[in-house]
Structure 1
Amino acid sequence: MTGTPAPFTAGDPAPFTAGDYGARMRRAAEAAADAGLDGVLIAPGPDLVWLTGYRPVETERLTLLVLRAGQDPVLVVPTLEAPDAAAAAPMLTLRDWTDGKDPYAAAASLVGSEGRFGVSDNSWALHLLGLQRRLPDTRYVALTEALPMLRAVKDAAEVARLAEAGAAADAAYEEIRKVPFAGRGEADVAADLAELLRHFGHSQVDFTIVASGPNGANPHHEAGERVIERGDMVVLDFGGLKHGYGSDTSRTVHVGEPDLEERRVHDVVRAAQEAGVAAVRPGAACQDVDRAARAVITEAGYGEYFIHRTGHGIGVTTHEPPYMIEGEELPLVPGMCFSVEPGIYLPGRFGVRIEDIVTVTEEGGWRLNTTSREMAIVD
C-alpha cells in the first residue's frame, strides 16, 4: 500500500466504571434467577471482560466468577494472579488458591452442593468437568442457551463504541478502494486491509476476507495466493475490535467493468440488504429480518445460493447473539446491534455479499456503516 491516509481522530471514550460493571453483574445474577438458574459461572473470555473489565490470560489454572442473586460477586483466582485481578476489578471479592491445592474446592462452597447454573460458552471442559466431579449434583447450561439476551442489548456507551468501530472500518474501506487489485495476491490486499484497520484505531484485527473470482463463492474464504485478475468480482469482509467493541462490514467490488449478470446479482443482494434493514423495528422477531432479505433473493431465482443466516449480533465479540435466522423468534428491542449481510454465492464463478451493522432504535434500524452499497469499480 502506498501513501498514508489521514488518521481517524475521534477521541477515546470514557472508560467503564466499577459502578457500570457492578450493575452488569447484578443484572446477570437477576436474569439468571428469573430464568430458574441458581447462578452463573463465568470463565475468562468475553463474558468476564464485559461483566468486570478483567481480561486474564486463559490457562489451565482455574479463574471463575461466581454470580448469585442477592450475594456479592466473588472471583476464584490463582494466588499469583490475585494482584492483577484486584487492580483490574476492585469491586470484586477474591478467593484465591495456590498451586498444589484443589481449585475446585475453593469454588465449591460458593457454588453449593446442588443447583443449575449458567456457564459462559467458552469455559474449558477441563474446568467444568473438574467442578462436576467435585459437585456431582450440580447441573450446567450454556449462557447462550440460558440467557441469550444477556449481552444482546447495548447501552448508549456501548452503541457509541460500536459506531466508532464501524466508522473506522468504513474509513478502511474507502482507502482500500484506492489500492491496486489486479495482478496482486489476495493475501497482499488482505494485509493492506489489516494495516488500514489498525491505522484507523483498531487494537485487534479479527479477519480480512479478500475472496476474488471463484473464491468469492466461499463465504469464509481465507485470503490466499490467488492473483486477482481484471474481470474478477472481489468480496471484502473485514473487522476487529476498537475500544473493546467490534466492527464487521462487507462490500463487493469489481476489478474493471462487470458484465450484466454480475451487475444483476449485485443489485439483487443490495435490494435484499435494504429489505433486511427495513424489517428492523422494535417488536419484530429476529427471523423477520432473515425472511425479508431471503425473500428478495428467492424471488430473483437465487434462493439456493444464499447459504448462511442473514445476521449475527456484535459487541465485545464480532459474533454473538442475537442471530437473524429462520426459527429465531426473539423480539428485537432498542439497543440490539447485529449484522445484516445477505449474499449470493455461485460455485466456481463468483460471490456477492453486502453487510452493515445495524442497531435497533425506537424508530427502526440505524446503520452503523455508511459507505456506498453500490458496486465499486477498482483497478
Structure 2
Amino acid sequence: MIWPRDDAKLDRVRAAMAEEELDALVVRAPDNVLYLTNFWGMKGYDAVVFPREGEPVLVCLEASEADAERMSWTAEVRFFRGYDDGDPRPPALRALDLARQLASEYGRVGLELSLGTQATDRMVGEPTTFTKAWFDAFPEAVDATPLLSTARALKSEQEIERMRLANEIAARAMEYVQGRLRPGMRESEVGAMWECWVHDHGTGFNDRVELARGFSLVWSGPGIKTFTATGNRPIQEHEPTLFEIWVCADGYWCDHTKNLVPGELGARYVELEAQLMEVYTSITSSLSDGGSLADLDRETRARLAEVGYPGQPSHPVCHGVGARAHEPPYAHQAGGGTMEAGMVLAIEPGV
C-alpha cells in the first residue's frame, strides 16, 4: 500500500532530535524503519539513516528493490546483496557497512541502544536481531530509543487510519469465527480459523492492505491461562473461549482480548463479566489528557481487589499500540508518565 509521507510524525521526530542535539539517527528495528520510511522489510536486515536536516537514506536488501520503490518515502536507497560471492559475512553486516558510511558525515548520532522489543519483519517467524558489531560500529552513539518511543507514543491521523484497518480486519475475522464456533472443536482449530481469515481476507482488504497477518492465543473454559500456548483442548459449551488476538496490517497493529461462548454463558461467568465490565467502564470513563499512568495502574488493581481478585492482572494494565502490538507508554504504579491526547492505549483489566 502506498501511503503519502506522514510529515506530522516525521516533524515530531526531528523536533525531538533538535532538543537532544542529535544530527542523525541510525535505525534498524523493523518497526522503527517502518515508522521513519514506510518500508516494511522482508527479513529485518534493512536500516535507515535519518538526519535532522536533509533527506533520509534507506539501506535495503537488494532483493527488496521493488518493495522499496513501491513503499519507501525515501528518495535515496542504498542496496546490499543477500549473497556476495566475495563476502561470507551475514547480510546484516553489509547493511552495517553502508549505514556506517552514510552516518560518517554527521556529528552526534543516535542508535537504538536500549531497545528491548522489536516488531516482526514480513517473514515473521525468524526475526533478525542486532549483533554486537552494530553497537561497536558507533562507539560514541547516544541512545535514541527513548526519543523514538516518546515520538511514537503520539499517533498521527495517518497512523490512526492504518490502525483502524487492522482493527476492522480483526473484527471481521471474529465475526467469521463466531458464526462457526461449536463445542468440541479444538482450541488450535479455532485459532487457525481466525488467523486464516485474517491472512486470506485481510491481505488486499478494501484494496488498502498489502499484507495482513494474524496472531492468536485461544483457550476455552478451564484452559484459560495467561502466558500459556494454545493447545488442542476442546471448546467448552456455556463457558467462555478467550481470544488474545493481534493483527498486523502493513506494519501497524491492533491488540484485543475477546470472548465467544457456545450456548448460554454459565452463571458464575455472568457474574464475573459484570464485575469486570464495571471496573473497565469506571476506569475508562475517567481517562483524561494529562491523567497519571501510575494512578491508572493503581486504581485498576484496587478495583479488581475489591471484587475479589487481588494481585490481578499478572501483566501491565495498559500499554501503547502502534507499529508494535506492545509499545510505550506502560502504566505502572511505581512509575511515572501521563496520558496524552493522540495516544492509542490498550487497557486490559483481566483476571
| TM-score past 0.5 threshold | yes
Q: Quick one: structure 1 residues 339 and 228, their matched pair in 2 at CA, closer, same or farther if it must change by over 3 Å?
A: same
Contact 2:30 2:46 in 1 (8 A): no
Match of 2:58, SS? strand
* 8 Å Cα contact 1:289/1:324 also seen in 2: yes
Q: Where in structure 2 are the equivalents of 1:228-377 lying within 5 Å?
A: 228-242=235-249, 244-344=251-351
What CA distance in whole angstroms lies between the structure 1 residues aligned with 2:72 and 2:260? 45
Partners of 1:83 and 1:183 in 2: how far apart? 46
| Correspondence 1:53 to 2:56 | no
The Cα of 1:299 is off from its aligned counterpart by: 1.1
Instruction: Give me the whole-angstrom Cα distance separating, in 2, the residues matched to 1:198 and 1:78.
Output: 25
* Alpha-carbon offset, residue 317 of structure 1: 2.6
Cα 1:227–1:79 shift into 2, 3 Å:
closer
Tell me the equivalent position of 1:108. 100
Q: Are 1:37 and 1:117, in contact at CA under 8 Å, matched by a contact in 2?
A: yes
Closer, same or farther in 2 for the Cα pair 1:291/1:199, shift >3 Å? farther
CA contact (8 A) 1:45 1:55 kept: yes
The answer to whether structure 1 residue 208 and structure 2 residue 216 are counterparts is yes
Change (3 A) 1:35 1:275: farther
CA 1:174–1:296: 2 relative to 1, 3 Å: farther
* Number of the residue aligned with 1:377: none
Between the aligned partners of 2:21 and 2:328, the Cα distance in structure 1 is 20
- 1:177, 1:76 → 2: CA distance? 44
Q: 1:118 aligns with which of 88, 108, 111?
A: 111
Q: TM-score, normalising length from structure 2? A: 0.78
- Measure how far apart 1:49 and its partner are: 1.5
1:52-89 residue CA offsets vs partner (Å, 9 max, x unmatched): 12223326xx6321123223322334566556535543
Mapped contact 1:26–1:69 kept (Cα < 8 A): no
Separation in structure 1 between the aligned mates of residue 313 and residue 67 of structure 2, nearest angstrom: 47
Residue ranges of structure 2 left out of the alignment (5+ in a row): 88-92, 119-127, 204-210
Equivalent AA in structure 2 for residue 71 of structure 1: G
Q: For residue 151 of structure 2, give the secondary structure of its aligned residue in structure 1.
A: coil
Q: Is the 8 A contact 2:59 2:77 kept in 1?
A: yes
In the alignment, is the contact (CA less than 8 A) between 2:202 and 2:213 conserved in 1? no
Q: Secondary structure at the match of 2:153?
A: coil
Q: Is the 1:132–1:138 Cα contact (8 Å) retained in structure 2?
A: no
Distance in structure 2 (CA, Å) of the matches to 1:175 and 1:82: 36
Q: In the alignment, which residue of structure 2 is the partner of 1:185? A: 186
Residue by residue, what CA displacement relative to the aligned partner does 1:185-228 show, whole Å, maximum 9, x if unpaired?
A: 11122122223434653543332222112221x22332221112
Cα distance in structure 2, aligned partners of 1:35 and 1:286 = 25
Pairwise CA distance, 1:272: 1.8
Whole-Å separation in 2 of the counterparts to 1:97 and 1:200? 34
| Equivalent position SS for 1:40 | strand
Q: What is the match of residue 49 of structure 2? A: 66
Q: CA deviation at 1:339?
A: 1.0
CA distance in 1, matches of 2:136, 2:331: 37
Q: 1:81 to 1:166 in 2, by over 3 A?
A: closer
Instruction: Give the alignment's TM-score, normalised by structure 1.
Output: 0.73
Following superposition, the deviation at residue 302 of structure 1 comes to 0.5
Structure 1 residues 243, 65: closer, same or farther in 2, change over 3 A?
closer
Q: Secondary structure at the match of 2:216?
A: strand
Q: Is the 8 A contact 2:169 2:247 kept in 1?
A: no
Q: 2:207 corresponds to which residue?
A: none
CA shift digits 1:322-363 (9 cap, x unpaired): 22333443222222112112111xxxxxxxxxxxxxxxxxxx
1:76 aligns with 2:59: yes
Of the three residues 76, 84, 87, the one matched with 1:93 is 76
Unaligned runs of 5+ in 1: 1-13, 345-379
Matches of 2:170 and 2:70, distance apart in 1: 32
Contact 2:58–2:74, Cα closer than 8 Å, also in 1: no
CA–CA distance in 1 between the matches of 2:53 and 2:271? 58
Partner of 1:16: 3
- Provide the C-alpha distance between the structure 1 equivalents of 2:176 and 2:343, rounded to a whole number of angstroms: 29
Conserved 8 A contact 2:240-2:259: yes
The CA distance in 1 between the partners of 2:262 and 2:33, in whole Å, is: 44
